[in-house]
Structure 1
Amino acid sequence: MSQDSLNLTDLKTLKRLGRGVRIFPMVKIVKGEVVEVDDGSQIDDFTFINGGTGVRIGKFNHIASFVSVIGGGELVTGDFVGIATGARLITGTHHYGDGQRICPLIPAEEQCVIRGKIVLEKDVFVGANVIIHPNITIGEGAIIGSGGIVLKDVEPWTINVGAPVRVVGTRPKVKEPPK
């Protein structure tokens, strides 16, 4: 752990903290008791993570500045995932289809909130300012281009751009180093 990381008291609230993890001092983590960060990962300043029902960050992930994980649901990332600056991972949101008001200031029983799970599989890259909605799986090796809005699952090893994202190409599978 580097000198410029959160103080040890803050880090002790995390459910699990792997070896060689760097969490910079201006990171804000809410509900740290359900947040796990695996070996070699880095979370840059001005990132906000709401632990919701659970956050599991894989090995060697990089979460850039100004990323937000919000909504009160669950986030799971595989190993070697990159999330670029300003991305929004929305694990929960209000639902409008049941004739209920969309206002977080009214009593909970009068709201219709959907909380879900976002899964970023191994080797995924999420570009700057991407928005990912609840209940989404982004398949292994997929790339989401800057500014994309993800409303449905994304196939492995595809390149996706737009609002909403659509497949514009594929990328080769990562070659694993010899053992």
Structure 2
Amino acid sequence: MDNMKFNSMGEHVKKLLRECGDNVTIYPLAKIVKPEVIDIGSNSMIDDFSFIYGGKGIKIGKYAHLESFVSIIGGGKLVVGDYAVIATGSRILTGTDTYYGGKRMSTALPEEKRNVIRGKVVIEKDGFVGTNSVIHPNVTIGEGAIIGSNSLVLRDVEPWSINVGTPSRKIGERPKVKEELNEL
């Protein structure tokens, strides 16, 4: 591999980020494309085998964790709040192709031949996206909400709720975090 490929992976990418907090860990096999539009808060972690496409901008808060095999794709925007987790194998889609208007859905085509929906995904403070879940564009996962493993999220999720299924539905509530963390 040449130096350009290495620069988009692991710790090498930190110097290319728009903003990078203190004590950020980006493991060597995490790949980040368009790092110049990405902000990562202090003490956050991105595990090996994650793929992040910066799209129109990504902001990751402090103490957030993107676990292994997470994909962030689609070309839209993403906001991940402080203390949030995106668990192993989850997919965050900030954009997707649609068949609307009789358009083709091949991402190999020029964009004018496709009908692409790009939007913003927000995972608020203390949000948790469970293993192998899929979040679609234009969705907000409210503060403290939990998305159970293997869920498909197509609509906004209430704060401090527990949600599961395909498509996801609310099944309960989570107690609010009572203590604010000062810097550890």
Give yes or no for TM over 0.5: yes
Unaligned runs of 5+ in 2: 1-8
Unaligned runs of 5+ in 1: none
The whole-number CA distance in structure 1 between the counterparts of 2:175 and 2:110 is: 49
CA RMSD of aligned residues (A): 1.4
The whole-number CA distance in structure 2 between the counterparts of 1:87 and 1:52 is: 18
Which residue, 84, 88, 91 being the options, matches 2:87? Answer: 84
Aligned twin of 2:44: 41
Deviation for aligned residue 1:6: 2.8
Q: Deviations over 1:102-145 (max 9, x none)?
A: 11222221111111000000000110000000000000000000
The whole-number CA distance in structure 1 between the counterparts of 2:158 and 2:109 is: 38
The whole-number CA distance in structure 1 between the counterparts of 2:11 and 2:134 is: 30
Q: Which SS does the other structure have where 2:16 is aligned?
A: coil
Change (3 A) 1:178 1:21: closer
TM-score by length of 2: 0.91
Contact kept, 8 Å, 2:80 with 2:124, in 1: the verdict is yes
Number of equivalences: 174
Q: 1:121 is matched by which residue type in structure 2?
A: E
Q: Which SS does the other structure have where 1:12 is aligned?
A: helix
Q: 2:97 is matched by which residue type in structure 1?
A: H
The whole-number CA distance in structure 2 between the counterparts of 1:106 and 1:177 is: 48
Richer in helix (by share):
2
Which residue, 92, 116, 124 being the options, matches 1:113? Answer: 116
Which residue, 91, 94, 97 being the options, matches 2:97? Answer: 94
Change (3 A) 1:97 1:27: same
Q: 1:128 is matched by which residue type in structure 2?
A: T
Change (3 A) 1:84 1:106: same
Q: 1:6 is matched by which residue type in structure 2?
A: G
Aligned twin of 2:20: 17
Q: 2:22 is matched by which residue type in structure 1?
A: R
Q: Deviations over 1:149-176 (max 9, x none)?
A: 0000000000000000000000110012
Q: Which SS does the other structure have where 1:119 is aligned?
A: strand
The whole-number CA distance in structure 1 between the counterparts of 2:143 and 2:152 is: 18
Change (3 A) 1:129 1:108: same
